[in-house]
Amino acid sequence: MQRVTHPFRVDGKVALVTGAARGIGACSARLLAEAGAKVVVTDVDSDLAEQVVREIRQAGGEAMALRLDVTDEEQWQAVIAEAVRAFGGIDVLVNNAGVENMNLVEDMPLRDWRQVMSVNCDGVFLGVKHAIRAMKPGGISGRGGSIINMASICAMVALRGAGVYSAAKAAITNLTKIAAVECGQNGYGIRVNSIHPGVILTDLTRAGMEGSVRKGLFKSAAEAQAAYAGMHPIGRLGEPEDIAHAVLYLASDASRFMTGAELVVDGGFIAQ
Ligand SMILES: NC(=O)c1ccc[n+]([C@@H]2O[C@H](COP(=O)([O-])OP(=O)(O)OC[C@H]3O[C@@H](n4cnc5c(N)ncnc54)[C@H](O)[C@@H]3O)[C@@H](O)[C@H]2O)c1
């Protein structure tokens, strides 16, 4: 077995990150580039994705932006093919794109349920499916890889108002395990793991807190933020960097014996 000499380096690897225009995805893209990967920054927001690429290049890294709506299977195929053509392969997929819609189960319109399920669940399924096809022996990249699915502590605990979000994150957690088992047993050299962040301060969280207030779950955004921070024994909300480091670990060969696992990064939230 080869020694892992630089555990948190990903030199020579090509990483594709979805929802990488801002928040956890943008932070992960920057860190992966800093650690040596060529990064494909994808999002539905092309302007912001281009901005992330400019920042990576200014810092001396290599990256390109591609528009990808994760709910569109044809776009997935085209984007993976373009990544392989431009950067010579694909070694890491970070299925990070996600949306939230806070509502009580009894008030959740079916339309909203389907919209969240489509991005957070169908989107991850399509990414896993097409990454496996590309990474497996004989695929257009064909050299194995690491697939990282951004789940949440909401896959494990019940947070008031997070019904559809939790259902989607629980679904992708088990999809992760099935894909890991299938890839392992088929000898593909592909690892598949999920990351379970606690509450991380990003636009998604801010919007979720404001939504909770509108729906009467909290009196103000400040009250919601204080309530969420108080649920983390470590004493604060998370930052995108806290999760990006977990992404880098799972992308790197330091995690080479990890597959089908749930990596919880939550300031102690679910330990209580
Ligand atoms: N912020 C948190 O507290 C937290 C906690 C646990 C898990 N997560 C998960 O982490 C991931 C990133 O969250 P974030 O807080 O950085 O969110 P964010 O809202 O800041 O960023 C999400 C990105 O996804 C993109 N996106 C939305 N729909 C898309 C689609 N159909 N196709 C492609 N891109 C799309 C958005 O344009 C945006 O750039 C999500 O999967 C989220 O569920 C976040």
Tens digit of pLDDT for each residue in 48-103?
Answer: 999 999 999 999 999 999 999 999 999 999 999 999 999 999 999 999 999 999 89
The ligand 1 atom at the shortest distance from the C-alpha of residue 200 is: 3
- Answer whether residue 171 is part of any domain: yes
Task: Report which ligand 1 atom has the smallest distance to the Cα of 70.
Answer: 32
In a domain, 144, yes or no: yes
- Return the residue whose CA atom lies nearest to atom 17 of ligand 1: 204
Is there an atom of ligand 1 within 6 Å of 197 CB?
Answer: yes
The pLDDT of residue 19 is 98
In the β-sheet with 38-43, what is the strand arrangement from edge to edge? Answer: 62-67, 38-43, 14-17, 92-95, 145-150, 190-197, 262-265
- Is 4 within the bounds of a domain? no
The reply to whether 60 falls in a domain is yes
Tokens of 186: 């088929």
Structure token digits, residue 165: 């979000």
With a 6 Å cutoff on the Cβ, whether 244 touches ligand 1 is: no
Ligand 1, atom 25, residue with closest C-alpha: 19
The pLDDT, as a whole number, for residue 216 is 87
CB contact at 8 A, 172 and 194:
yes
For 207-259, write each residue's pLDDT tens digit: 888 888 988 889 999 999 999 899 999 999 999 999 999 999 999 999 999 99
Contact 267, 243 (CB under 8 A): no
Identify whether 8 is part of a domain. no
Total number of domains constituting the chain: 1
Helices 110-117, 163-185: crossing angle, 10 deg rounding = 30
Question: Is this model's pTM higher than 0.95 or not?
Answer: yes
Calpha distance 164→154 (Å, rounded): 10
CA–CA separation, 83 vs 66, rounded Å? 9
Distances 47 to 34, 52, 188, 206 between C-alpha atoms, Å: 21, 9, 36, 21
Q: How confident is the model at residue 4 (pLDDT cuts 50, 70, 90)?
A: confident
Active-site residue 188, yes or no?
no
Whether residue 150 has its Cβ less than 6 Å from ligand 1: yes
Residue 51 parent element (H or E)? helix 46-58
Which of 95, 169, 202 to mutate for ligand 1's pocket (most ligand atoms within 8 Å of CB)? 202
* Residue from 18, 22, 24, 265 whose mutation best tests the ligand 1 pocket (most atoms within 8 A of CB): 24
The domain spanning residue 149 has which CATH number? 3.40.50.720
Instruction: Kindly give the distance from the C-alpha atom of residue 187 to the centroid of ligand 1, in angstroms, as a whole number.
Output: 32
Is the minimum distance from the CB of 44 to ligand 1 under 6 angstroms?
yes
2 assigned to some structural domain: no
Q: Are strands 145-150 and 190-197 parallel, antiparallel or unpaired?
A: parallel
Q: Which ligand 1 atom is nearest residue 49's CA?
A: 39
Residue 211 lies in a domain: yes
Nearest CA to ligand 1 atom 23: 19
pLDDT for 3 equals: 84
pLDDT at position 271, please? 97
The rounded distance, in Å, linking the Cα atoms of 170 and 154 is 8
Give the domain range for residue 59: 14-266
Residue 70 maps to a domain? yes
> Residue 167 has what pLDDT?
98
Burial 229-243 (b: 16+ CB within 10 A, else e): bebbeeeebbebebb
Write out the two tokens for 156: 């494990």
